Amino acid sequence: MTKTDLRKLWLQVHKWIGICLAIVFVPLSFSGSMLVWHETLDAAINPQREIAGDGHTTCSTSRYVYAAQKHMDSGHQISSIRFEDGHAVMVTATDMKLPEESYRPLNRTNMWLDPADGRLLDKRGRSSGFVPTMEQLHGSLFIPMYGRPIIGFIGLAMLVSSLSGLWLWWPVSGSFSKGLKWRRSSDTYGNVHHMAGFWVCVPLAMLSLTGAWIAFPEIAAKLSGTTAPSLADRMIRMRARPLPTTNLDVDSVVAKAMAKQPGPLAVITWPTEQDSAWRVAVQTAGKPAQVSVDDKTGEASVGGGNRPGRIGQTLRRMHDGSEMGPIWQGMIFLAGLLPTILGVTGLVMWWRSRGWRADLKRRTKATRAQM
């Protein structure tokens, strides 16, 4: 196969990936860009959750539990509490009624409490609101159970599209700098597509690869030498209801966890029908430490639960920009917006090429008829 034939092949691959996936990849990229600044967006959209003072928790954990129970919907049970300095305490309550469809997770409601006195600041379904909607779109395309693997395959396709686009951008002859010239095409859409594609192809390839890694945790775990729950296990956990009654109260669980691993509380997760242990995440100098407290015996131990390995954590941070600094976050924010330009310009280029090819075919046919 000659270089010209190879170029034609990659052009077809690049073109049809773009045409077939533009309708889903544009919203995926846009939602990813929005989620880079999810905390800022959430705070701007929901000012009622803003707290006064330094945000340090001053009440016992049971005080927050009691405050949330007063506002909890009937048939719900508290399943977790999340603490973060400078933010409201977030209590999640789970509907104990199982959805009829076996692939749907349990319905959950979040309540935000003032750390100072446990006063209710806001209450909303876990999947409602702008940021949760963006998370569902970006993480599963609103498709229960199978949405995540679909996202993974789209990520792999976009990785191929990014690399093939770089191949097609590379000048056939001349130096590298020739490719950076604006007027590589007589068409404005083509020039915009070539220029935007060059600047975004490497970040887009990185985001596509890391997104696929996140979407296929079992494969990623095997490649990195760690463990990850299977799809069936994840579905069971999504539908695991918290125990209606526990042997231990939350304050004693916190005391046992602090005795094993002192530090500020991060998250407390209630025991479920599938797992009788409380999970207490504690902030440390490095990554959060997790303490498991058995609800039956009261025995506490550091560790437990599935956590991504160092490679998985690094790739996730690269993908969502968390703890990566404003420069990296700005780069992946733009890398999520530019595919919209690439999608529009690419579709226009394809549509116009159909027009001139049809016109060329008519002219050729007319010429042959005259001969």
Give yes or no for a contact between 81 and 67, defined as CB atoms under 8 angstroms apart. Answer: no
Whole-number mean pLDDT of the chain? Answer: 84
pLDDT at 305 over 60: no
Report the percentage of the chain scoring pLDDT > 90: 35
Mean pLDDT across 216-228: 79
Q: What are phi and psi of 291, to 5 degrees?
A: -115, 130
Compute the 3-state secondary structure of the chain and give helix, strand, coil in percent, each to the nearest 5: 55, 15, 30
Q: Tell me: the pLDDT tens digits for 321-360?
A: 887 888 888 888 888 888 888 888 888 877 877 765 666 5
pLDDT at 317 over 90: no
Mean pLDDT across 64-84: 93
pLDDT at 256 over 90: yes
- Which region among 132-141, 197-206, 267-276 has the lowest average model confidence (pLDDT)? 197-206
In this structure, which amino acid lies at residue 348?
V
Q: Which DSSP category does 47 fall into?
A: G
pLDDT band, residue 310 (cuts 50/70/90) = confident
The pLDDT, as a whole number, for residue 363 is 64
pLDDT at 267 over 60: yes
CA-based max dimension of the chain: 96
Strand order in the sheet with 277-282: 120-125, 108-113, 89-95, 76-82, 265-269, 277-282, 289-294, 300-302
Give yes or no for a contact between 130 and 41, defined as CB atoms under 8 angstroms apart. Answer: yes
Give yes or no for a contact between 302 and 290, defined as CB atoms under 8 angstroms apart. Answer: yes
Is residue 17 classed exposed, middle or buried when 0-12, 13-18 and 19+ CB atoms within 10 A define those classes? buried
Give yes or no for a contact between 162 and 208, defined as CB atoms under 8 angstroms apart. Answer: yes
pLDDT at 178 over 80: no
Residue 203, token pair as written in the block: 């970040």
The pLDDT, as a whole number, for residue 342 is 85
Residue 344, token pair as written in the block: 């529009």
pLDDT at 12 over 70: yes
CA distances from 333 to 22, 109, 313, 319, 338 (A): 18, 29, 19, 10, 9
The pTM assigned to this predicted structure is 0.79
The pLDDT, as a whole number, for residue 71 is 93
pLDDT band, residue 307 (cuts 50/70/90) = low
Q: Tell me: the pLDDT tens digits for 18-36?
A: 888 888 888 898 899 999 9
SS (H, E, C) 9-44: HHHHHHHHHHHHHHHHHHHHHHHHHHHHCHHHHHHH
Mean pLDDT across 246-262: 93
pLDDT band, residue 252 (cuts 50/70/90) = very high
The pLDDT, as a whole number, for residue 322 is 82
The pLDDT, as a whole number, for residue 359 is 60
The pLDDT, as a whole number, for residue 367 is 64
| Range ranked top by mean pLDDT from 104-118, 170-184, 327-341 | 104-118
Give yes or no for a contact between 298 and 256, defined as CB atoms under 8 angstroms apart. Answer: yes
pLDDT top residue among 177 and 315: 315
Cα–Cα distance measured from residue 362 to residue 166, given in angstroms and rounded to the nearest whole number: 34
Q: Tell me: the pLDDT tens digits for 85-97?
A: 888 999 999 999 9
